[in-house]
């Protein structure tokens, strides 16, 4: 009871609703953001990007990051202490291509299994080998071959696989707007990147099935799109934004078709490719952070959420007023998660597989991070409301276990449940780590009481 009261004083209320038995609780990371040990792997597009002056706001790189490559045992102990069921990490394609190959992931998976934590690898989290290019169709075939190598080595211990992480962001930020690697500013000429990633996903699912995998999904980022007003120009702009960020990536996977008008813009034999893209999935991963308020273009370039939005886009992103914001400036809107999931259920019906929230988190400074506790508390409750509304949700992963290299923001943003002093690599669990650990204990106790 003393432990619970201490948590309450940091902003959380005591009783989180009980989730269904077998619900999967976890945390997420990605290879490039935490592993370091850049001298033991090949180069990625992110290594090339961060070497260019001005690309990363604090001028930093991920050459060392959290040094997880050397400290993975310490980090697995943090996972075990937290009490999570599963750990979602990513496998670095450039590391697999190095002479050491999959040796590190062999060790990591063994350590996770020994600690009773389910390994959930993501096979691509933006760190494309520098010699490859998503504008080229051949990259999809190369990805499938890499996936086969990984599955052959780790498939005896890994049961759950995620093919791609956030192909929308990798397309839009990396290839359309140029704020992420590889730093291209192609605007709508970046659409082939989306198609080739989706094709790579479908080919990867086929490769994983051939290797015996029975639990395969993808991690797509999604959020509700809110029109800035009921004016027709704002409604049309919001609809177009929603198409780009949500339907462009969900419709091919779940419906086997692109939204109206998009198929003609994609390369190759799109009809044949869509049959590959729409492979049946065992779960659909959703990364949720916030809704987006969108209106008609305003004719000027704006900075929003760390991203420069060109004036020539046919929409403009607006602030959501009257809600708290994180240290990153992102709006905190837990009810958007409920809206998103019930909306997906209504749109896709029985074509929507069971859902797993593969990322949800926030950037705040400090170890006594009561704002993060309040954020997670609100979103877990919003998720439960979606479950109560009939959405088949099977799991929830917090982003992230560790403070890390936050892409173009460098080390200025802290999303971790564990604070990392990047000068010393000392790990310090935050108040939110204790809160999440207590939540997991409560859920297990409730499950035990139901079956006892």
Q: Band of the pLDDT at 450, cuts 50, 70, 90?
A: low
pLDDT at residue 304, as a whole number: 74
Phi and psi at residue 402, in whole multiples of 5°? -120, 145
Q: What is the 3-state secondary structure (H, E, C) of 295-357?
A: ECCCCCCEEECCEEECCCCCCEEECCCCCCECCCCCECCCHHHHHHHHHHHHHHHHHCCCEEE
Angular region, 178: left φ>0, alpha ψ -120 to 50, beta rest: left
Residue 451 has pLDDT above 70, yes or no: no
Question: Model confidence at 1, in pLDDT bands (50, 70, 90)?
Answer: very low
Tell me, what's the pLDDT at 6?
Answer: 34
Checking if the pLDDT of 5 tops 70, the result is no
Question: 398-424, pLDDT tens digit by residue?
Answer: 999 999 999 999 999 999 999 999 999
- Inform me whether the pLDDT recorded for 239 exceeds 70: yes
What pLDDT shows up at residue 448?
76
7 and 379 Cβ atoms separated by less than 8 Å: no
User: Residue 438 and residue 443: Cα distance in Å, rounded?
Assistant: 9
Q: Model confidence at 15, in pLDDT bands (50, 70, 90)?
A: confident
Tell me if residue 227 falls in helix, strand or coil. Answer: strand
Domain that holds residue 270: 2-451
Which tokens sit at 417? 């449940």
Overall domain count for the chain: 1
> Residue 7: its pLDDT value, please?
41
> What is the per-residue DSSP string for 92-125?
-HHHHTSTTTTHHHHHHHHHHHHTT-EEEEEEES
Task: Give percent of the chain above pLDDT 70.
Answer: 96
Give CA–CA dist 222/218, Å, rounded. 12
CB 87 within 8 A of CB 120: yes
- Read off the pLDDT of each residue in 315-322 and give the average, rounded to a whole number: 96
| pLDDT range class, residue 14, cuts 50, 70, 90 | low
CATH at residue 281 = 3.20.20.80
pLDDT tens digits along 259-307:
999 999 999 999 999 999 999 999 999 999 999 999 999 988 877 777 8
The pLDDT score that the predictor gives to residue 34 is 99
pLDDT at 271: 98
Position 3 pLDDT exceeds 60: no
Q: How confident is the model over 336-345, as a mean pLDDT?
A: 98
For the cut 80, the answer to whether the pLDDT of residue 2 exceeds it is no
Q: Average pLDDT for residues 40-52, to the nearest whole number?
A: 98
Annotated active-site positions, please?
166, 359
Mean pLDDT of 178-185: 97
């Amino acid at each position: 009871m003393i432990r619970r009261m201490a948590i309450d004083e940091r902003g959380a209320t005591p009783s989180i609703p009980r989730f269904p038995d077998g619900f999967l609780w976890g945390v997420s990371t990605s290879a490039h953001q935490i592993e370091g040990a850049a001298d033991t792997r090949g180069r990625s597009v992110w290594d090339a990007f961060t070497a260019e002056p001005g690309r990363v706001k604090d001028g930093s790189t991920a050459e060392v990051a959290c040094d997880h490559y050397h400290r993975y045992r310490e980090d697995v102990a943090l996972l075990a202490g937290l009490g999570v069921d599963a750990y979602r990490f990513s496998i670095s394609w450039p590391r697999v291509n190095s002479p050491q190959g999959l040796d590190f992931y062999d060790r990591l998976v063994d350590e996770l299994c020994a600690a009773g934590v389910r390994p959930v690898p993501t096979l691509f989290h933006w760190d494309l080998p520098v010699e490859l290019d998503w504008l080229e169709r051949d990259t999809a075939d190369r990805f499938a071959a890499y996936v086969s190598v990984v599955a052959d080595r780790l498939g005896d211990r890994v049961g759950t696989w995620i093919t791609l992480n956030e192909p929308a962001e990798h397309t839009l930020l990396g290839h359309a707007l140029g704020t992420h690697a590889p730093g291209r500013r192609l605007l709508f000429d970046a659409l082939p990147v989306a198609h080739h990633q989706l094709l790579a996903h479908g080919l990867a699912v086929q490769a994983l099935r051939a290797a015996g995998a029975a639990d395969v999904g993808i991690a797509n980022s999604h959020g509700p799109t809110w029109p800035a007003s009921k004016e027709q120009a704002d409604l049309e702009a919001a609809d177009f934004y929603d198409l780009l960020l949500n339907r462009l990536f969900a419709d091919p996977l779940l419906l086997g078709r692109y939204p109206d008008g998009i198929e003609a813009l994609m390369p190759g034999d799109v009809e044949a490719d869509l049959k590959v893209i729409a492979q049946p999935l065992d779960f659909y991963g959703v990364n949720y952070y916030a809704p987006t308020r969108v209106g008609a273009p305003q004719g000027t370039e704006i900075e929003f959420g760390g991203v420069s939005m060109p004036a020539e886009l046919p929409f403009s992103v607006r602030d959501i007023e009257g809600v708290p914001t994180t240290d990153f400036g992102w709006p905190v809107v837990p009810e958007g998660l409920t809206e998103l999931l019930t909306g997906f259920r209504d749109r896709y019906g029985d074509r929507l597989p069971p859902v797993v929230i593969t990322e949800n988190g926030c950037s705040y400074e400090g170890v006594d991070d009561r704002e993060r506790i309040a954020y997670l508390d609100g979103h877990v409750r919003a998720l439960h409301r979606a479950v109560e509304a009939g959405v088949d949700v099977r799991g929830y992963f917090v982003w992230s276990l560790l403070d890390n290299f936050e892409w173009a923001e460098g080390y200025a943003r802290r999303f971790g449940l564990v604070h990392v002093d990047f000068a010393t690599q000392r790990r310090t669990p935050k108040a939110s780590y204790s809160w999440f650990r207590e939540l997991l204990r409560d859920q297990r106790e409730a499950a035990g009481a139901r079956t006892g």
